């Protein structure tokens, strides 16, 4: 497969596959170069960079060439990302725990910059929602109609719905010494109400809280008889708002506001101090919804005294208050998208091809005996991976299956296949990562189910997350046992495999599979640091191994041998790796970084990173594959990995990187995952020296005018065109 994109005009230096030796060398012992002379060695702020990524995602909600409901979906994606950002990252900022006077100047400056960026992003979201997306839907006859604009017949229907479906589930709480402020769950919808007059006992308790159950739908469609030729909805918040007075008979409802509090939700368990990690985590899940408050969202018109009361209640600074012009939870707009039956406002359905290297007429084990197989998801279907596991489950010659599980989802065909394997008498070992953030409960449930039927379930290594993605099959062939394996840059989740770009690698290479057997042994018995033949493993060797490759290219460049490094990943925040890249750049190495999200390494800063370019690709699919390419002279090496270049991946996780030594597959990866992305002039953003991002300008037209395609669209077209 080749790409005929023209040579880019300035920012990227194109990657071109070069002849490689029969076997690429994977062990490098080059000494590091001297540290670069600092010109401006300050890294960019990780969290501001992460918010900038979400601003790039939000840009897709602005694009008029994107289907209308997909634009709305991008808005919800940003909201979901922001929720997770506050749940995980915001609590790290000391201003939420310390008085302002106790902050260092650096802490205060970082908090102020973060708060400013977050507030600007939220304001942009709601401006887009109110001024662009909802008017565009209204123009097409779809509206979320507020109480003040409902006809009398519509108001009667809404009142009937409220009395029948909503009111029985609500129990307003009036605050007084006997009725303290109720526990408010993370990200739940609530109302705060100011009341005047006296209660039934003659007291003047003037504040009440109404908690809205999550079981209630956030949008309700009005009957066609009340909508005419339009499609009309009402939001649950407007339904409750319209009937607040009915919940407080004898009282006068004054100021009120919807509100939502976001809480720190990263589970904290002292693994060294618990006897059973699974039990400890299940207990921790019960309390996750009631962690430290980090953000408060209220209606734009919320009275100051009500906002102040909530801030005091949740012990939050004013900077954590977000006044929003609309629903306090834009994520729930996903329900609205599902209720609108308009396929023309969605992406045309993309049908992934069955993996091109796999034949459906020949057993996969036989095909792997002939050579390695690469699957480029989601352009090729995850069904190829499922077919490999299904064949292993059904094959009577397969004796054992070992697999790691990080994020597989609550409804997983893959896990059901492992369940069947146990029932068919195979030895099944599953390394389940219980601490996969926000997937803990699903993973605990799968661990218990598999353990119940007799699978060997282990939870990796205390203090480390097992993030490596690997599946190893041991099969009897005559007098020998041969191993077959699957490695991946992404998760064993069939649903996200349709939305994330990832690379799956099927192999029977005896050195790779022996390395995997060694790693599984380490995860089970933790006996000693593994000695691997081909793979590089974190937390032992990966960071050092990558630095050695960077230094090798840099040393060659310093001696006049052309060198380049091209890396694709989700995040780049590890300081030692960034320092090595800076050193290589200053030695003359051309460095191209394709980093989807947070990147702390500034690009093309004069005298510091002149030869480093950073770009981010945002498209229909979530970029998720990790590809590390090193070239010096006529030698090249390419690794695939589950690891981003973050300190946690290098030192606090079990990660793997493996070399692709097949020249054809290596050229295919370079072309599809690197070259196409460096030539993208549609969906690409380029980083400026100050860390800001700007859309890459359109490529100069050559010959006949033709609609430009981004890398993802090119790949969809490429795989669709194949027989």
Calculated CA dihedral for residues 510, 514, 517, 523, nearest 10 degrees: -140
On whether the CB atoms of residues 495 and 409 are closer than 8 A, the answer is yes
Under DSSP, the state recorded for 20 is -
Per DSSP, the three-state class of 473 is: strand
Under DSSP, the state recorded for 501 is E
Q: Give the start-end residues of each E strand in 170-326.
A: 173-174, 190-196, 207-211, 219-221, 231-235, 252-263, 293-299, 321-324
Per DSSP, the three-state class of 305 is: helix
At residue 139, φ and ψ (nearest 5 deg) are -60, -30
State the Cα–Cα distance between residues 682 and 702, nearest whole angstrom. Answer: 16
At residue 503, φ and ψ (nearest 5 deg) are -120, 125
Our answer to whether residue 198 is catalytic in this structure is no
On whether the CB atoms of residues 695 and 4 are closer than 8 A, the answer is no
Q: What is the CB-side half-sphere exposure of residue 573 using CA atoms within 13 A?
A: 18
Query: Counting every residue, how long is the chain?
Result: 723
On whether the CB atoms of residues 281 and 436 are closer than 8 A, the answer is no
Give the residues across from 636 on adjacent strands. 631
Closest CA to 128 of 120, 118, 140, 116: 120
User: Which one of 467, 611, 624, 681 is the catalytic residue?
Assistant: 467
State the Cα–Cα distance between residues 143 and 147, nearest whole angstrom. Answer: 12
Strands 142-144 and 231-235: parallel
SS3 readout for 151-211: CHHHHHHHHHHHHHHHHHHCCCEECECCECCCCCCCCCCEEEEEEECCCCCCCCCCEEEEE
Q: Which residues are catalytic?
A: 467
């Amino acid at each position: 497969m080749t790409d005929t994109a023209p040579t880019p005009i300035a920012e990227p230096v194109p990657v071109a596959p070069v002849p490689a030796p029969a076997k690429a060398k994977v062990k490098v012992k080059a000494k590091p170069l001297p540290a670069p002379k600092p010109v401006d060695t300050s890294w960019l702020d990780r969290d501001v960079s992460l918010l900038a990524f979400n601003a790039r995602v939000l840009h897709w909600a602005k694009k008029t060439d994107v289907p209308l409901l997909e634009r709305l979906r991008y808005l919800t994606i940003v909201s979901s990302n922001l929720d997770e950002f506050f749940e995980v990252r915001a609590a790290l900022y000391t201003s939420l725990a310390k008085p302002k006077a106790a902050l260092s100047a650096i802490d205060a400056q970082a908090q102020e910059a973060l708060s400013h960026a977050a507030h600007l992003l939220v304001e942009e979201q709601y401006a887009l929602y109110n001024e662009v997306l909802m008017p565009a839907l209204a123009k097409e006859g779809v509206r979320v109609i507020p109480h003040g604009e409902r006809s009398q017949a519509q108001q009667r229907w809404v009142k009937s719905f409220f009395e029948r479906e909503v009111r029985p589930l609500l129990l307003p709480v009036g605050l007084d010494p006997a009725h303290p402020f109720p526990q408010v769950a993370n990200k739940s919808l609530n109302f705060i109400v100011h009341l005047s007059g006296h209660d039934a006992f003659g007291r003047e308790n003037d504040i009440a809280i109404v908690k809205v159950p999550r079981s209630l739908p956030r949008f309700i469609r009005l009957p066609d008889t009340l909508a005419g030729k339009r499609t009309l909805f009402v939001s649950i918040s407007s339904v409750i708002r319209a009937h607040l007075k009915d919940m407080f008979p004898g009282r006068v409802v004054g100021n009120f506001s919807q509100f939502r509090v976001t809480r720190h939700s990263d589970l904290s368990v002292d693994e060294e101090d618990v006897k059973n990690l699974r039990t400890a985590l299940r207990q921790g899940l019960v309390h996750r919804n009631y962690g430290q408050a980090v953000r408060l969202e209220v209606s734009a018109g919320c009275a100051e005294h009500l906002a102040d009361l909530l801030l005091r209640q949740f012990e939050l600074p004013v900077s954590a208050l977000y006044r929003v012009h609309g629903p306090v939870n834009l994520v729930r707009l996903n329900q609205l998208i599902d209720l609108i039956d308009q396929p023309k406002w969605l992406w045309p359905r993309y049908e992934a091809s069955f993996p091109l290297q796999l034949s459906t007429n020949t057993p996969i084990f036989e095909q792997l005996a002939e050579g390695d197989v690469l699957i480029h998801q989601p352009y090729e279907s995850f069904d190829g991976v499922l077919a490999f596991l299904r064949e292993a489950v059904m094959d009577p010659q397969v004796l054992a299956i070992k697999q790691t599980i990080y994020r597989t989802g609550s409804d997983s065909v893959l896990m059901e296949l492992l369940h069947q394997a146990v029932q068919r008498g195979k030895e099944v070992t599953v390394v389940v990562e219980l601490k996969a953030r926000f997937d803990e409960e699903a993973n605990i449930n799968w661990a218990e189910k598999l353990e119940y039927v007799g699978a060997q379930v282990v939870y990796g290594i205390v203090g480390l997350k097992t993030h490596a993605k690997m599946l190893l099959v041991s099969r009897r062939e005559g007098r020998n046992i041969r191993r077959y394996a699957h490695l991946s840059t992404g998760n064993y989740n069939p649903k996200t495999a349709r939305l994330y770009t990832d690379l799956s690698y099927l192999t029977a290479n005896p050195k790779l599979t022996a390395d995997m057997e060694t790693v599984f042994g380490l995860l089970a018995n933790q006996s000693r640091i593994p000695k691997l033949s081909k793979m590089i493993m974190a937390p032992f060797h990966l960071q050092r191994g990558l630095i050695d490759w960077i230094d090798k290219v840099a040393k060659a460049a310093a001696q006049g041998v052309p060198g380049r490094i091209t890396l694709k990943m989700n995040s780049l925040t590890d300081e030692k790796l960034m320092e090595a890249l800076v050193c290589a750049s200053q030695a003359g190495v051309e460095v191209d970084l394709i980093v989807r999200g947070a990147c702390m390494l500034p690009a093309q800063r004069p005298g510091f990173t002149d030869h480093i370019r950073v770009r981010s690709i945002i498209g229909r699919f979530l970029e998720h594959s990790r590809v590390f390419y090193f070239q010096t002279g006529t030698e090249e090496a390419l690794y695939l990995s589950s690891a981003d270049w973050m300190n946690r991946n290098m030192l606090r996780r079990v990660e793997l990187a493996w070399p692709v030594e097949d020249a054809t597959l290596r050229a295919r990866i370079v072309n599809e995952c690197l070259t196409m992305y460096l030539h993208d002039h549609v969906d690409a953003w380029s980083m400026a020296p100050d860390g800001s991002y700007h859309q890459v300008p359109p490529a100069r037209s050559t010959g006949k005018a033709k609609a430009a395609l981004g890398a993802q669209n090119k790949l969809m077209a490429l795989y669709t065109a194949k027989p």
